[in-house]
């Protein structure tokens, strides 16, 4: 299958994908390594916190979103990474057993100023849970290869 180039994304396009369920063990394993705040690793401390129970590190939610983006879009594309994220908000906690999916809206696109083979795409990514609540929202930029000009020699 031909990969998606920068040229193939359309402003206004909405893509829906994902469906990953996160377990208690995954939440604790990630948090022990990267973000061992009590409400991410300790059931009793989490129950006593304002969150009322164990919740995933927001950085793990970002990682799970990234996994869904990579599996469903980037690995079928000419992705060259990302320069960054305009903003990210963690709107609601992610809890054990939650199933996450992504609503991906293409906001803008433009050619790269300094790399003629690349184009930039600005996207809004909303990560939703099984209750259709937005748990995380971000706007970020992706870099993709532009489709090489075909048939330059005029053969047609």
Q: Which residues bind another protein (CB under 8 A)?
A: 30, 33-37, 39, 50-51, 57-60, 62-64, 66-67, 70-71, 74-75, 79-90, 115, 143
* Token pair 């369920």 in the structure block, residue: 21
Question: In a 10 Å sphere around its CB, with 0-12 CB exposed, 13-18 middle and 19+ buried, how is residue 142 labelled?
Answer: buried
Give CA 3 to chain center in angstroms.
19
Closer to another protein at the Cβ: 89 or 110?
Answer: 89
The tokens describing 156, both together, are 């047609």
**Smallest separation (angstroms) from another protein to the CB of 104:** 16
Closer to another protein at the Cβ: 47 or 85?
Answer: 85
Closer to another protein at the Cβ: 66 or 155?
Answer: 66
Axis crossing angle, helix 24-34 with helix 58-72, rounded to the nearest 10: 110
Residues 6+ apart with CB under 8 A from 126: 102, 103, 104, 105, 134, 136, 137
Closer to another protein at the Cβ: 53 or 63?
Answer: 63
**Smallest separation (angstroms) from another protein to the CB of 91:** 8
């Amino acid at each position: 299958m031909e990969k998606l180039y920068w040229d193939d994304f359309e402003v206004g396009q909405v893509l829906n994908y994902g469906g990953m369920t996160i377990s208690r063990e995954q939440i604790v394993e990630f948090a022990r390594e990267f973000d061992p705040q009590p409400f991410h690793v300790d059931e009793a401390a989490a129950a006593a916190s304002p969150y009322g129970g164990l919740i995933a590190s927001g950085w793990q939610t970002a990682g799970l979103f990234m996994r869904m983006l990579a599996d469903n879009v980037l690995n079928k594309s000419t992705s060259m990474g990302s320069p960054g994220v305009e903003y990210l908000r963690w709107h609601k906690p992610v809890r054990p057993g939650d199933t996450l999916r992504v609503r991906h809206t293409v906001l803008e696109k433009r050619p790269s100023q300094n790399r003629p083979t690349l184009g930039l795409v600005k996207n809004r990514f909303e990560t939703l849970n099984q209750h259709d609540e937005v748990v995380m929202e971000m706007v970020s930029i992706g870099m993709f290869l532009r489709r090489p000009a075909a048939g330059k020699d005029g053969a047609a």
